[in-house]
Amino acid sequence: MDAFRTAYVYVRNIYAGVLCETDEGYAFTYDGQYNMTGKSAGSISGSYSGE
């Protein structure tokens, strides 16, 4: 799975993860530290990759 474009996602100025465009569509991966901040996860449409 090759990534064409990559977006670094921030929710309310807190780094949340990476959104990558692939040959199969889009994949979002949460940053491991984001879930530990006590903030609720944002809503995203599409496929989810919890790597």
Per-residue pLDDT of the chain (51 residues; tens, 9 = 90+): 666 899 999 998 999 999 999 888 999 999 988 876 565 555 555 555 555
Q: What is the distance between the alpha carbons of residues 9 and 3, in angstroms, rounded to a whole number?
A: 16
- Structural tokens at position 12: 């309310």
The terminus-to-terminus CA distance of the chain in angstroms comes to: 14
pLDDT at 42: 56
pLDDT at 4: 87
pLDDT at 33: 86
pLDDT at 51: 55
- Other C-beta atoms closer than 10 Å to the C-beta of 3 total 13
Phi, psi of 36 (to 5 degrees): -85, -5
Q: Which residues pair with 15 in a beta bridge?
A: 10
